Structure 1
């Protein structure tokens, strides 16, 4: 099954509607025996730019509970992907930013174009990561590099992440989806029950820690969104000016 995030005008931002549609698609794929693998990609030359800041502005006006519920829907998707019994491959072109980076890390295998860029962009607008990005990166990268990615919101290239084991396969620009589909064909020849067992073993080895970490990410994100610096960061982004954090 090929799932495409498609809102090219916003570089495929995420929303509660997308979370719900994604979970519905996974439920269908789980029940359909002919579906052996799921491939996730983005439309318009980019994977996903993360959360929609316009929606966050509205959530700030609506109150913390609205944002808490929104993050919980996203985190339910993260846990559903981890528990899903069939392989999920991310095919990344262009940018995977913020929650888009988190989403790519949640997939079982990651194919990225050589010129793809990944960034935990939260700090630029006075926010903190969600979607399990920190938990996943801490299992693969040195603490110092994770801190650099988080604190400075610096982009990192696919080739560097491939050398460090975060990206499984590199593709020529424009070929990430093609290579991911070829990988899916290979996985389709494997015993589905054995792959489900492998995923279950890995998921259960990490599930408790991930769930606790997701709860921490939710609480920190909501607190930072409703801090004055959260409002300043988002206003500065839309005003195309440097933020004045206090």
Structure 2
């Protein structure tokens, strides 16, 4: 039987950029099973597409994502303890598979955030390489308010982005904070007017897509490993990566462009 429901994630590709739009605006794009399945499929398709060099994740309507679908969560409470545990272990396994896919997929990801980025919405934003926020955006790691602990890599990302003490404050108190605070704490890269968020995110993604893709993929991997790797090992990784990139056509093009005083025209490799 064919799936006739409206996609929970919309996907469009243009000019080397895949735009993935969380598509449950009536529910503030709250995460449910359909959305996490659709997001994983859309992300995998973008990563597999050789014409795509960067990914933008955004939300339909006025919000990015207001966390998990709490109404659906509540509907599951009739299950016995063992079944409830299995249900949520399976759900979070899917969430985490998508988080790893985005982090390890080799292509840069930009979040375009308007309105709420709460719960897994904040986790998802932190899993992206860059984040552009609207002036009206607001953030909260709200798990404590429903008696649950964070998921989606939040406890991995948060201390690395804001430091241990600030991470504890955000995670343990669950307070809401605005875009200016998120920028000051290093959770987002830029804050722009609400109607400029998507254009700014697309412009950043286009710059990434037009760049030296192997070099950028290697740079992402080096940055991600840096905080769990000793200096000698990190230096060895940098050495191997530099040598690999030096054999690509992009390296030759970058040098030629510099010497000829013109913009580089990087290829797809």
When normalised by structure 2's length, the TM-score is: 0.73
Q: CA RMSD in A?
A: 1.7
Aligned residue pairs total: 208
SS in 2 for 1:193: helix
Mean Cα displacement is larger for which, 176-185 or 134-143? 134-143
Q: Which has the higher helix share?
A: 1
Matched, 1:39 2:39: no
Matched, 1:133 2:154: yes
Q: C-alpha distance in 2, partners of 1:92/1:121?
A: 17
Matched, 1:52 2:69: yes
Query: Greater Rg, structure 1 or structure 2?
Result: 2
Matched, 1:11 2:1: no
Matched, 1:2 2:23: no
Contact 1:59/1:67, CA 8 A, preserved across alignment: no
Q: CA deviation at 1:10?
A: 0.9
Segments of 4+ in structure 1 off by > 3 A? Answer: 203-208
Q: C-alpha distance in 2, partners of 1:55/1:206?
A: 37
Query: Structure 2 stretches of 5 or more lacking a match?
Result: 1-17, 230-269
Contact 1:16/1:74, CA 8 A, preserved across alignment: no
Q: Aligned residue for 1:64?
A: 85
Query: Structure 1 stretches of 5 or more lacking a match?
Result: 209-246
SS in 2 for 1:130: coil
Q: C-alpha distance in 2, partners of 1:31/1:50?
A: 27
Q: C-alpha distance in 2, partners of 1:20/1:125?
A: 24
Q: CA deviation at 1:167?
A: 0.7
Q: C-alpha distance in 1, partners of 2:129/2:78?
A: 36
Q: CA deviation at 1:152?
A: 2.1
Aligned counterpart in structure 2 of residue 75 of structure 1, from 96, 102, 109: 96
SS in 1 for 2:75: helix
Q: Aligned residue for 1:155?
A: 176
